[in-house]
Structure 1
Amino acid sequence: MFSFLQKIGKSLMFPIATLPAAALLLRFGQDDMLGIPFMSAAGAGIIDNLAIIFAIGIAMGLAHDGNGGAALAGAVAYLVLTSAIVTINDTINMGVFSGIISGIAGGLLYNKFYNVKFPQWLAFFGGRRFVPIVTAATMTILAGVLGYAWPPIQEGLDSAGEWILNAGMFGVGAYGFLNRLLIPTGLHHVINTVVWFDFGTFTDASGEVVRGEINRFLKGDPTAGPFLSGFFPIMMFGLPAACLAMYAAAKKERKAVVGGMLFSIGFTSFLTGITEPIEFTFMFLSPLLYVIHALLTGVSMMVSYALDIHHGFGFSAGAIDYVLNYGLATNPLLLLVVGLGIGIIYFVIFYFLIIKLDLKTPGREEEDEEGAENAGSDNKAVDVRAYHTIEGLGGVDNVVAVDYCTTRLRMTVKDSDRVNEKELKRHGAMGVMKINKTNVQVVIGTAVEFLADAMKPRLANGNPAPSDLSVVEKEKTNEAAAVQAIAAKDFEMPIQGDIIPLSEVPDEVFAKGMMGQGFAIVPTGNILYSPVDGRVVSVFPTKHAIGIKTDTGVDLLIHVGLDTVKLKGQGFEALVEQDTLVQRGDALLKLDLEFLKANAPSIATPVIFTNLTEQKVTMIKDGFQEQGTASILKVD
C-alpha cells in the first residue's frame, strides 16, 4: 500500500505541473495586471478542469510504459464516472477526487489489459484498444456503487476539512509540519492535493463553486491563503539560510568546492520555491535537522496565520509567485519580516547543530586520500561488472526492476529463461536462484548495493559497453594476491552458542556455499563480538549483518538470523559504525534474542568468508562454545 501511494504521489506531478501555466494566465489577465479577459479565461480553462487533467495525468503516470493509451483510459473513466453518478444523486460533487479515482482506475486497467489477445475475428479490439472498453464498463459499475457510497464519504471529507480549516493556527501548523515530513516518502503530494484542490468552497462572481485553497485564492476568495502563506518564509528565507549555515560550517579547504552548489540550490529555492535539492542534502545525513525543518515549517505557518497573512501561489512559494500574486494578497509585506526572522533561526540552529554534532553536511565529509586516488579504478570496476551483470540477466529489454537486500540482487525480469547463470558467475556472482518466471535472485555479496546503483543508470542508457573491460579482472587478481591465511589463534568465537555446518542452515544461498566458505552459529548470547582484528566495512541499515575486512585481507560477513532484513532493525542495536577499527573481542552488535526467535524464521547466524579463492576454511571445533574461545578454525 505504501509503495502504491508513492506511485500515486509521483503521478500527481503530471497534472500539478500544469498549474504554473494556469496561474500565470489567470493572474496576468486580471484587471489589476494586463486586463485581458481571454487570458484569464485561458487560465480558468485549466483550473476549472483539474479533475479530468488529474485523471489523464495519473493514469499515464501509473502506466508501466507511460503510454498515451492509459491517458485515454483515464479520460474515459472520468467522463463515464461523472456523467453516470449524477443520475443517482445530482448533489454529488467529487471535485478532484473524481479525477484521482478515474486516473487510478485507468492506469491499473491499462497495465492489466494492454496486451490482451482475442480470436482473429475480434483481434481489432485487442491490446490497447480494449483498455477504454473495459474502463468504460468498470467505471459504469463503480459509478453505481459510488452514487450511494460517496455522499457519506464526502460528508466525512468535508467535516475533516472544516475541522482543519477551523482549527486555526494548529490546523495550518499541523499541515505545514506534515507537508515537509512526508517529502522523503513522496506522500506529501497526496495531502497537498486534498488541501490545495478540495478543502473549502467559494462561489465566484459568475456563480461557480470553487474548491481548494489554491483555486479559491486565485479566483479571489478573501479567506483563502492561510494554508499557503507560511511556505513563503521557508522557501525564500529559511532554506537559503540553511545553505548559508552549511557553507559556514564546511571545512575551509572545501568551501570553494561546495560554495557554488549551495548558492545555486539556495537561489533556486528563493526564486522558484523548489526545495528538494536542499532538503535532500541533509534529509538522510541528519534526520534531526530534517525534523527541525518540518517543525519550523509548521511554526512559520502558524505565525503567518496569527498575523492574518493571506498569500498564495500557483506553483510554489518562491519569489516569482510572491511578486506575481502580490496584488491578491493580504498583508504580504509582513511575510518578508517573518521570513527574515525564520532565516536567522534556521542559520543559528543549523550551524550550531552541524558543528556541535559534527554532522557530515556538504563540505564536512571525511576525506581519505588513498581512497580518493583509487576511487576512479573502483568505480570503473563496478561499472564493468554492472555491464556484464545486465547482459547476463538477458539484456536491458529483459530487466524490469532492480532491487537488493543484504547480499543479493532481487531482480524482476520478463523471462527468467533468458538469464545466463554461467555468464553471471563468470563475472562475480556467487549463485543464481530463479524463483519463478519473472523473479531471479543473484547472490553478489556485501558489495551488492554499489552494483545495483551502477546498474540503474546503465539500464536507463541502454547499457553501452565500457571502454576497458579488463578492469574487473585486474581488480580480482590484485584482491586474490592480497588475501592471506588466518592462523587458528587469530580467530575467536564471536558469540556464545552452538557451531553448526553451513549445510544445516535453512537457506539455500548459505547452505550451498554460494556466498563462500564458513560456518554457522545458533547463538545463546546477546552480544556479538568481533572474531578478528580488522576494519568494519559495512553495517547494514537494518543492523542484521556486519562486514569486516581482516588485517590479512579476508572479507568476513556475519549475518544474524535468516530473513532478519524484514525486521527493519528491530531486535538489533549496532555498537560500531562503518570504518571502525576493531580488535578481537570488541563488541559489534547487541541482540534481543527473544524478539528474534519470535519474529525470524531462524536465528542461525552464518559466518562467511566471502573472498577466499585459493584458501580453505578448516573447522577445528564444533558444538557449544563460549564467546572468545580461540582456535575454532583456521584459514590456509
Structure 2
Amino acid sequence: MFGFLQKIGKSLMFPIATLPAAALLLRFGQDDLLGIPFMSAAGAGIIDNLAIIFAIGIAMGLAHDGSGGAALAGAIAYLVLTSAIVTINETIDMGVFAGIISGIVAGLLYNKFYNVKFPQWLAFFGGRRFVPIITAAAMTILAGVLGVAWPPIQDLIDGAGNWILNAGMFGVGAYGFLNRLLLPTGLHHVINTIVWFDFGTFTTASGEVVRGEINRFLRGDPTAGPFLSGFFPIMMFGLPAACLAMYAAAKKERKALVGGMFFSIGFTSFLTGITEPIEFTFMFLSPVLYVVHALLTGVSMMVAYALDIHHGFGFSAGAIDYVLNFGLATNPLILLVMGLVFGVIYFFIFYFLIVKLDLKTPGREDEDEDADNAASGNNAIDVRAYNTIEALGGADNIVATEYCTTRLRMTLKDADLVDEKALKRHGAMGVMKINKTNVQVVIGTAVEFLGDAMKPRVANGNPAPEAGTETAAVEDTSNEEPAMKEIIPKDFEMPIDGKIISLSEVPDDVFAKEMMGPGFAIMPTGDVLYSPVDGRVVSVFPTKHAIGIETDTGIEILIHVGLDTVKLDGEGFELFVEQGQLVQRGDKLLKLDLKFLDANAPSLATPVIFTNLTDQKVIILKDGDQPQGTHSIMKIE
C-alpha cells in the first residue's frame, strides 16, 4: 500500500506541474495587473478542470509505459463517472476525488489489459484499444456503487475539511507539520491535493463555485490563504538559513567542497520555493533535524494565521509567487519580518543541534568510514555477498534484492537490523534507510555482480564461505601505496553536446556527495553519447542507461544518463556497443530519445564519474555549454 500511494503521489506531480502556467495566466489577466479578461479565462480553464487533468495525469503516471492510451482511458473514466453518478444523486460533488479515482482505475486497467489478444475477427479491439472500453464498463459499475456509497464519504470529507478549516491556528499548524513530515514518503502530495483543491468553497461574482485553497485564493476569496501563507517564511528564509548553518558547521577542510552546493540549493528555495534539494540533504542523514524542520513549519503556519496573513501561490512559496500574488494578499509585508525571524531561528537551532549532537550533515562525514571502504575493495565477490547479507540482518531479514546502476535497492522485514558500519567495512559507499522496510546501499559499478551473487545466497540461507576464503579476501592492504592514475586533459573529450555542471547540482545525494567518486555532470542537449576516451567498455547495464569504460591508463569512468532512468527498462535508449568492446574517442556509445527521457525521468542530469581514483581530484577546466568533441575540459590531480 505504501508503494502504491507513493506512485499516486508521484503521478500527481505531472498535473500539478500545470499550475504555474494557470496561476500566471489567471493572475496577469486580473484588473489590477494587465486587465486582459481572455488571459484570466485561459488560466481559469486549467484550474476549473483540475479533476479531469488529475484523471489523465494519474492514469499516465500509473501506466507502466506512460502511454497516451492510459491518458485517454483516464479521461473516459472521469467523464463516465461524473456523468452517471449525478443521475443517482444530483447533490454529489466529488471534486478532485473523481479525477483521482478515475485515474487510478484507468491506470490499473491499462497495465492489466494493454496487451490483451482477441480472435482475428475481434483483433481490432485488442491491446490498447480495449483499455478505454473496459474502463468505460468498469466506471459505469463504479458510478452505480459510488452513487450510493459516496454521500456519507462526502459528508465525512466535508466534516474533516470543515474541522481543519475551523480549527483555526491548530488546524493550520497540524497541516503544516504533516505536509513536511510526509515529504520523504511522497505522500504529502496526497494531503496537498485535498487541501489545495478540495477544502472550502467560494462563489465568484459570476456565480461560479470554486473549491480548494489555491483556487479560492487566486479567484479572489478574501478568506483563503491561511493554509499557504506560513510556507513563505520557511521556504524563502528558514531553509536557506539552514543551509548557512550546515555550511558553518562543516569541517574547515570541506567547506569549499560543500559551499557551492549549499548556495545553489538555498537560492533555489528562496526564489522558487523548491525545497526538496535542501530537505533531502539532511532528512536521512539527520532525522532529528527534519523533525525540527517539520515542527517549525507548523509553527510558522500558526503564527501567520494568528497575524491574519492571507497570501498564496500557484506553484510554491518562493519569491516569484510572493511578488506575483502580492496584490491579492492581506498583510504580506509581515511575512518578510516573519521570514527574517525564522531565518535566525533556523540558523541557531540547526547549528546548535549539528554541533552538539555531532550530526553528520554534508561536510561533517567521518573520514575513517571512507578509509574502511578503501581497505575492503578487494574482497572476493562471494565473500562480499555473504558479509553484505549478514550486515543487512541476515537472509531471513531480506524480502527482495534489486539493484540499479550503482546501488542495491533492498526490501527488508526490519531496516533497524541493518549494520551500517559493517556494510561500509565491506565496501559500501553509503547507506540510505528510506523507511522501516526499504534500504538503499550504494555499492558502485560492481553492484550488478554483488546483487547477482547475493540472490542465490539469500535463497539458500546464506551459508558461510569455505574455510580460508574470508581470510584471503580481507587481506590487509592498508600499507600499500595507492597507484596514481593519470589522464591527459587533451585525451578526454566532451561525450555529448550539453552544459557542464558541478556534481553538487545533481539532485541525487549519491552523485552530489561524490559517494561514487569525483567527476562532473552534463545537462545534454545532443541526442548521441560518444566515448570521451580511448579504452574498453567494461560494463553495459541491461537497461542501457549507464556505461562503464576503462582507459588504457587504468581509470574507470561511469557515464550515467539521467536520474532513475533504470526504471525505464531500456526505453529511450539505442545501444551501439557491447561489454568488452574496445572504443576510441568519438565512437558512438548510445542514442538518446531526449523528448521521452525528459518526460519520464526526474532529471536529464548525466553524471560522468571517475570511480576508482584514490586521493586524486577531478578539476573542471571548462563549464557551461560545450559541443561534443571539445577536449581539455577536465584534469586529474
TM-score above 0.5, yes or no: yes
Match of 1:174 in 2: 174
State the shift of 1:16 in Å: 0.5
8 Å contact from structure 1 (residues 244, 347) kept in 2: yes
State the shift of 1:2 in Å: 1.4
Aligned equivalents of 2:449 and 2:187: distance in 1? Answer: 40
State the shift of 1:467 in Å: 3.1
SS of the residue 1:215 aligns to? helix
Match of 1:158 in 2: 158
Aligned equivalents of 1:457 and 1:186: distance in 2? Answer: 31
State the shift of 1:38 in Å: 1.0
Identity %: 78
SS of the residue 2:202 aligns to? strand
Match of 2:255 in 1: 255
Matched, 1:467 2:535: no
Tell me the number of residue pairs that the alignment of Structure 1 and Structure 2 aligns.
435
Aligned equivalents of 1:140 and 1:31: distance in 2? Answer: 43
Aligned equivalents of 1:327 and 1:351: distance in 2? Answer: 36
Instruction: Map Cα deviations across residues 180-233 of structure 1 (whole Å, 9 max, x no partner).
Output: 000111110000000000000000111111000000000000000000000000
Aligned equivalents of 2:178 and 2:52: distance in 1? Answer: 27
What is the correspondence of 1:417-432 to structure 2 with a 5 Å cutoff? 429=453, 432=456
Match of 1:304 in 2: 304
Flag structure 1 segments of 5+ consecutive residues without an equivalent. Answer: 386-394, 409-423, 473-636
State the shift of 1:285 in Å: 1.1
Match of 1:220 in 2: 220
Aligned equivalents of 2:228 and 2:255: distance in 1? Answer: 35
Instruction: Map Cα deviations across residues 143-177 of structure 1 (whole Å, 9 max, x no partner).
Output: 01111111111111111100100000000000000
Instruction: Map Cα deviations across residues 549-572 of structure 1 (whole Å, 9 max, x no partner).
Output: xxxxxxxxxxxxxxxxxxxxxxxx
What is the correspondence of 1:483-632 to structure 2 with a 5 Å cutoff? none
Match of 1:417 in 2: none
Matched, 1:351 2:351: yes
State the shift of 1:36 in Å: 1.0
SS of the residue 1:210 aligns to? strand
State the shift of 1:428 in Å: 7.2
Match of 1:334 in 2: 334
State the shift of 1:425 in Å: 8.4
What is the correspondence of 1:239-254 to structure 2 with a 5 Å cutoff? 239-254=239-254
Aligned equivalents of 1:470 and 1:335: distance in 2? Answer: 58
- Alpha carbons of 1:243 and 1:320: their partners in 2 closer, same or farther (altered >3 Å)? same
Aligned equivalents of 1:459 and 1:431: distance in 2? Answer: 17
SS of the residue 2:142 aligns to? helix
- Alpha carbons of 1:354 and 1:41: their partners in 2 closer, same or farther (altered >3 Å)? same
State the shift of 1:464 in Å: 3.4
Instruction: Map Cα deviations across residues 206-265 of structure 1 (whole Å, 9 max, x no partner).
Output: 111100000000000000000000000000000000001011111111111111100000
SS of the residue 2:365 aligns to? coil
State the shift of 1:375 in Å: 9.3
Aligned equivalents of 2:255 and 2:451: distance in 1? Answer: 41
Match of 1:147 in 2: 147
Match of 1:2 in 2: 2
Instruction: Map Cα deviations across residues 317-346 of structure 1 (whole Å, 9 max, x no partner).
Output: 000000000000000000001111111100
Match of 1:105 in 2: 105
Match of 1:131 in 2: 131
Instruction: Map Cα deviations across residues 364-398 of structure 1 (whole Å, 9 max, x no partner).
Output: 1122498399599789x99xx9xxxxxxxxx999x
Match of 1:44 in 2: 44
Q: Which amino acid aligns with 1:432?
A: P
Match of 1:92 in 2: 92
Aligned equivalents of 2:178 and 2:369: distance in 1? Answer: 41
SS of the residue 1:317 aligns to? coil
Instruction: Map Cα deviations across residues 564-615 of structure 1 (whole Å, 9 max, x no partner).
Output: xxxxxxxxxxxxxxxxxxxxxxxxxxxxxxxxxxxxxxxxxxxxxxxxxxxx
What is the correspondence of 1:432-443 to structure 2 with a 5 Å cutoff? 432=456
What is the correspondence of 1:222-237 to structure 2 with a 5 Å cutoff? 222-237=222-237
Aligned equivalents of 1:94 and 1:430: distance in 2? Answer: 48
Instruction: Map Cα deviations across residues 521-565 of structure 1 (whole Å, 9 max, x no partner).
Output: xxxxxxxxxxxxxxxxxxxxxxxxxxxxxxxxxxxxxxxxxxxxx
Instruction: Map Cα deviations across residues 71-123 of structure 1 (whole Å, 9 max, x no partner).
Output: 11101100100111111111211110000000000000001111111111111
Aligned equivalents of 1:457 and 1:269: distance in 2? Answer: 37
Q: Which has the larger radius of gyration?
A: 1
Matched, 1:274 2:274: yes
- Alpha carbons of 1:458 and 1:279: their partners in 2 closer, same or farther (altered >3 Å)? farther
Aligned equivalents of 1:251 and 1:113: distance in 2? Answer: 56
Instruction: Map Cα deviations across residues 245-304 of structure 1 (whole Å, 9 max, x no partner).
Output: 011111111111111100000000000000010011110111111101000000000000
- Alpha carbons of 1:369 and 1:357: their partners in 2 closer, same or farther (altered >3 Å)? closer
Greater shift, 297-306 or 65-74, is seen at 65-74
SS of the residue 1:311 aligns to? coil
Aligned equivalents of 1:152 and 1:346: distance in 2? Answer: 43
Aligned equivalents of 2:319 and 2:540: distance in 1? Answer: 34
Match of 1:610 in 2: none
Aligned equivalents of 2:55 and 2:455: distance in 1? Answer: 45
Aligned equivalents of 1:67 and 1:456: distance in 2? Answer: 30
Instruction: Map Cα deviations across residues 9-68 of structure 1 (whole Å, 9 max, x no partner).
Output: 111101111000000010011111111111101100100000000000000001111111
Match of 1:589 in 2: none
8 Å contact from structure 1 (residues 432, 443) kept in 2: no
Flag structure 2 segments of 5+ consecutive residues without an equivalent. Answer: 386-401, 413-417, 424-447, 474-509, 517-537, 556-637
Aligned equivalents of 1:206 and 1:95: distance in 2? Answer: 20
- Alpha carbons of 1:125 and 1:184: their partners in 2 closer, same or farther (altered >3 Å)? same
Match of 1:118 in 2: 118
SS of the residue 2:130 aligns to? helix
State the shift of 1:443 in Å: 9.8
Aligned equivalents of 1:358 and 1:470: distance in 2? Answer: 40
Match of 2:323 in 1: 323
8 Å contact from structure 1 (residues 430, 443) kept in 2: no
Aligned equivalents of 2:288 and 2:233: distance in 1? Answer: 21
Aligned equivalents of 1:135 and 1:427: distance in 2? Answer: 39
Match of 1:544 in 2: none
State the shift of 1:6 in Å: 1.0
Q: Which amino acid aligns with 1:467?
A: E
Aligned equivalents of 2:548 and 2:339: distance in 1? Answer: 51
- Alpha carbons of 1:375 and 1:129: their partners in 2 closer, same or farther (altered >3 Å)? farther
Aligned equivalents of 1:132 and 1:57: distance in 2? Answer: 15
8 Å contact from structure 2 (residues 539, 549) kept in 1: no
Q: Which amino acid aligns with 1:211?
A: R
SS of the residue 1:432 aligns to? helix
Superposed CA RMSD: 3.7
- Alpha carbons of 1:375 and 1:64: their partners in 2 closer, same or farther (altered >3 Å)? farther
8 Å contact from structure 1 (residues 396, 459) kept in 2: no
8 Å contact from structure 2 (residues 238, 343) kept in 1: yes
Aligned equivalents of 1:425 and 1:242: distance in 2? Answer: 40
Q: Which amino acid aligns with 1:223?
A: T
State the shift of 1:470 in Å: 13
Instruction: Map Cα deviations across residues 346-366 of structure 1 (whole Å, 9 max, x no partner).
Output: 001000011111111111112
SS of the residue 1:363 aligns to? coil
8 Å contact from structure 1 (residues 73, 106) kept in 2: yes
Q: Which amino acid aligns with 1:39?
A: M
Match of 2:503 in 1: none
SS of the residue 1:205 aligns to? coil
8 Å contact from structure 1 (residues 429, 444) kept in 2: no
